[in-house]
Structure 1
Amino acid sequence: METHAGNIHIVENNKVKLKIILALALPAVIENFFQTLLGFVDTYFVSKIGLVEVSAVGVTNSIVAIYFALFMAIGVAANVRISNFLGAKQPEKARHIAQQSILLAILFGLITGMITLFFSEPLLKLMGIEENVLEAGEIYFKIVAIPSVFMSLMFVLSAVLRGAGDTGAPMKVSIFINIVHAILDYIFIFGFWLIPEMGIAGAATATVIARVIGSLALLYYIKRSTTLSFRKDYWKPDKQHLWELTTLGGPAAGERLVMRLGQIVYFGFVVTLGTNAFAAHQIAGNVEVFSYMIGYGFATAATILVGQRIGAGNIDEAKQYAKLSTWIAVGSMAILGLFLFILGSWAGSFFTDDQEVIKDIGTALKVSGVFQPFLAVLLVLTGAFQGANNTKFPMYLTAIGMWAVRTLLVYVLGIQLGWGLLGVWLAIGIDIAVRAVVLIVQFARGKWIAVKKDVESECHPQTTKETMSGCVNNY
């Protein structure tokens, strides 16, 4: 009888946890969806100017992606530490580190802006672009990235709110500014009423205005938050917190940079397969990106909930939230994987009429569909590791997976064995599966937690002897 009652309690407890996970994950999924959808709109408008402009934007975004890696790393660190402190019932420390993360965002935004101002042309030339693309690229790059402080603020302010458990505000702001961005794109690119046609400069201007509006809106939400509202004395730079954010965020930045560098190398292998194969690869990637929205949404929930429970010293509950978030993501992405497997070629037909390219897109998305459950595990458990302050292990794992598995197998399967795009996407899938399995093993062994000393010293009073084992540094 007691066992039956215990099982009912566990089921009810899991239902409550499920509702909490969905409340945090769904706004993040919706936010990602709008960003991706309206990113397509942005690309569509630029494509109407010409192929030179499309290339210029694409090359510029490859460089800006490196800036993104730095800004996202600060955001990851802020998210984790704020959720840790709030879980440990230390709201003032959460507020303090939130403001310090904003200072760091401003600093890095100004530095990358200065780099763009003085080195935009050399950076673009490093990408090996042609002269006609260089001129358009420099115009776009300077307008978009000199004021990159707003780009940085967008990432970090959103992360600050998420760290406090508010995924709704970033979602609302993202939807609003992406709609504004699309409207301004049309007006500034093609001209409207008193506003002249500005071409690629108009596309860049629309992007910057949207980011300024987004930064102000996020600041508004933070200022009205009882948990995070600013204190004047917390704006003074604090070396300890700034160093803490840098060291925790550094591996997250490293992970993104390793991924980008690896992509550049294996993209070069894909290019050797021919123009049609590369086009199919890019289109398949654009379709597959929708699956990442679900994974990143549940990864966001896992980071917040694990971070809060780790901060409270409740390791068992942190592990339960990580497991449950992963299982929900696996189920959701397995269903999406089935759609990719069955409807991949049909989706490709929206982008091209070339039957060879459509066939290659279908092949790539069939492979992607099979590996979707592994991708769910990889994304969500990475979020859980980060929530547990362990940002180093995912970085090391990404470096090994990208260089020793993915890039090597793309060359062997795609080029040497002549399997073409099938080999390329099998290589990507195998890399994802290997990293997912390694994370599962580390998680099962309890080697996924690395609690900072200031949280460790104030573990929640309800911490038991068993959960106290999590209040150690496992780096």
Structure 2
Amino acid sequence: MVKEKNKFTLWLLAWPIFVELLLQLLLGAVDTLMVSRVSDDAVAVVGLSNQLFQSMMILFMTVASGAGILIAQKIGAKQNESARTVAIMAVTVSAVIGSVLSVILYMEARPLANLFHLEERLLPLAETYISIVGSGMVLTALTAALSTVIRNTGNTKGPMITAIGMNVVHIVFNYGFIYGELGFPQLGLTGVAISTLVSRLLATCLLLFMFVSAFERRMEWRDLIVFNRKLFGDILKIGWPLGVNMSSWVLTQLTIYTFLATMGAKELAARTYMNTLESICFMLGYSIALAVQIQIAHLYGAGNIKEAYKSGYRGTWIGLGLVGFNSIILFLIGKSFLGFFTSDADIIKLGLSCLVLTLILQPGRMLNMGFGNALSAVGDTRYNMIISLFSMWGVAAGLSYVLGLHMGWGLAGIYVAMICDEYLRGILVVIRWRQQKYLRRAEARDKSAAVSGSSEAAGMGMHA
């Protein structure tokens, strides 16, 4: 009992998540840094292509995210077999969806690249990158599902170890393919795509090894056909609003990147560089938010309602402190960081113009993420979906067009729109968490079950 309780403390959950996410981010940063040695055009292509991949990932992340929350709740409620069944379905369904997406991305790379109104010279690069990296979407689906499942059992170190290995392999292969070193052919952006594919394959193999023994009863080949309609319904009940929420975010980001592409390749490259720097700044806060979600889901499943409520505040305040500090550091050293990625004075100038706005943006993002994840942990995912649809499209995308394109504010206008979106959603989720709607409902249900159990026990005693 003590071991299980300690496994779900905020610190033990958060630090491996932070290391894992940081290393995954470094994977992207190394990509950006090394690709920048090819050309700024290549950087723009990678940035836009990754937005496309993220939009498609929603299809399997809907299942994985809903399953992750349900697994933590079931483990908290001591229903380990149900948690195991949920995990199996999450992995198998994600693999099927990922396989379909792999075929589509490989076969339709050029038409998909044309959707984003890229400059003509960028289209061949985009087609190559999308077809190679996209063909491995099944690996992305498996790593996402496996990491989510393993992490929500309380084992956050496993995905962290995988991230370390994935980064080492990716950096070595990137170096070899881009510069023609270590016996590798010099393949430029094509080599980066191949490197991404190989590192994900190895990560999938390692995560599958961990998945086999993630639960009390080991996985077997025959488990691949396990399907429980009721539990899958529970996954979708939690997951589909999360999927719509994630879809809304990714599609609005794609829309915003399309606006940037209209502005020009320099604006697109500057946003890609700034996105990398902002992600580094936000990573500690994001790891806290994910850990809080796992902890609250576990507490909620165990019936510790008051502690679950307090955990939402505690985690978010810690995250706000960390993100605020990191934002100040980023502001102070932003120019030096941008200089690592590009020597283009115009791109650096565009990035620097957004540093103050980034300082304002990050706390709002943490507020939204912290309490938003707390709501998701107790199953209150529809509320997040509704406010996201309104705010992301009406504020983030809508204001980006008005300020960035129509009024000519450019990249700065897009940042102002994102700030308004994050703070609006942040305020709304704080209000919702304070209302404790789902927590009070669970508390009432537990009390009712306790009274019913006492009545049955008394009746059996009288009968005896």
Which TM-score band (shorter chain)?
A: 0.7 to 0.9
Determine the C-alpha separation between the residues in 2 that align with 1:363 and 1:462: 62
- Matched residues in 1 for 2:7 and 2:451: separation? 23
Contact 1:401 1:431 (C-alpha < 8 Å) held by counterparts: yes
Q: How many residues end up aligned between the 2 structures?
A: 447
Contact residue 146 and residue 208 of structure 2 kept, 8 A: yes
Task: Summarize the alignment of residues 56-455 of structure 1 with structure 2, pairs less than 5 Å apart.
Answer: 56-129=45-118, 133-192=122-181, 195-227=184-216, 229-231=218-220, 234-238=223-227, 239-270=229-260, 279-352=269-342, 358=348, 360-415=350-405, 419-447=409-437
Report the Cα offset of residue 359 of structure 1: 5.0
The aligned counterpart of 2:459 is none
2-side partners of 1:340 and 1:52: how far apart?
25
Q: CA deviation at 1:349?
A: 4.4
| Preserved contact between residue 60 and residue 94 of structure 2 (Cα < 8 Å) | yes
After alignment, is 330-339 or 320-329 more displaced?
330-339
1:391 deviates by: 2.2
- 1:173-202 Cα deviation digits (max 9, x unpaired): 111111111112222444456543444333
Per the TM alignment, residue 457 of structure 1 is displaced from its structure 2 partner at its CA by 8.6
Q: Is the 8 A contact 2:142 2:204 kept in 1?
A: yes
Tell me, in whole angstroms, the C-alpha distance in 2 between the residues paired with 1:42 and 1:157: 24
* Residue type of the alignment partner of 1:43: T
Residues 158-167 or 368-377, more deviating? 368-377
Q: Mark the CA change 1:360 to 1:164 in structure 2 (over 3 Å): closer, same or farther.
A: same
- CA RMSD across the alignment: 3.3
d(CA) in 2 for partners of 1:144, 1:359? 31
TM-score (norm 1): 0.83
When structure 1 is superposed on structure 2, of 66-75 and 344-353 the one drifting more is 344-353
Give the conservation status (yes or no) of the 8 Å contact 1:341–1:366: yes
Kindly indicate whether the alpha-carbon contact (under 8 Å) linking 1:341 and 1:370 is maintained by their aligned counterparts in 2.
no
Structure 1 residue 434 displacement after superposition: 1.0
3-state SS, counterpart of residue 154 of structure 2: coil
More helix by share: 2
User: Aligned partners of 1:18, 1:328: CA distance in 2, in Å?
Assistant: 19
Distance 1:52 1:422, change over 3 A: closer
Q: Secondary structure at the match of 1:127?
A: coil
What displacement does 1:281 show? Answer: 3.8
Structure 2 counterpart of 1:334, one-letter code: G
Provide the C-alpha distance between the structure 2 equivalents of 1:425 and 1:50, rounded to a whole number of angstroms.
25
* Higher mean C-alpha displacement, 231-240 vs 20-29: 231-240
Contact 2:342 2:348 in 1 (8 A): yes
- Separation (CA, whole Å) in 1 of partners of 2:262 and 2:116: 17
Q: CA deviation at 1:207?
A: 1.5
Q: SS in structure 1 opposite 2:365?
A: helix
Alignment-mate amino acid for residue 306 of structure 1: I
TM-score, normalising length: structure 2 = 0.85
- Decide whether aligned partners of structure 1 residues 104 and 19 sit closer, same or farther in structure 2, where only a CA change above 3 A counts: closer
**Structure 1 residues not aligned, in runs of 5+:** 1-15, 466-475
Greater shift, 128-137 or 115-124, is seen at 128-137
